[in-house]
Amino acid sequence: MTAPQLQEHLHALEERLLHPDREKDRKDLSSLLASDFREFCTSGRIFDLHQLTNALSASKPRPATMSHFYVTPLGENSALATYHITTNNSTSHHSSIWVHRDGRWQMLFHQGTIAA
């Protein structure tokens, strides 16, 4: 996969996780997350795979847009995605580490930080 293709692919996966309400079957989203997934949320909470899967299945539609999306390859099977999310009342900075396992890209780690 070329660098532009990887950027486009990971952007599409991040959009799916940002707007889980748009999925026909939200259970499909769990395949985008690694079994050893961790997230440091903007709230300060730490989520594991089970907690995030539950949050995705219960989430409501929200007005959120992603911008400044950029992917940095970290190796043959890993990449860092960074971007901003803007909602009606906040802007936050985000980073995700993606790994290529079992023929698909999965998010291994995610962190969100409220913009100052």
DSSP label of 44: S
CA angle 99, 97, 73 (to 5 degrees): 75
Closest CA to 114 of 13, 10, 44, 37: 44
Q: What is the pTM of this model?
A: 0.93
- Kindly report, residue by residue over 29-86, the tens digit of the pLDDT: 999 999 999 999 988 899 999 999 998 898 899 899 999 999 999 999 999 999 999 9
Which domains does the chain carry? 3-114 (3.10.450.50)
What the block records as the tokens of 28 is 């499909």
The whole-angstrom distance between residue 71's C-alpha and the CA centroid of its chain comes to 12
Q: Quick one: residue 43, left, alpha or beta (phi over 0 = left, psi -120 to 50 = alpha)?
A: alpha
Helix (H) or strand (E) holding 78: strand 78-86
**Residue 96: is it exposed, middle or buried by C-beta count within 10 angstroms (0-12/13-18/19+)?**
buried
Percentage of the chain with pLDDT > 90?
81
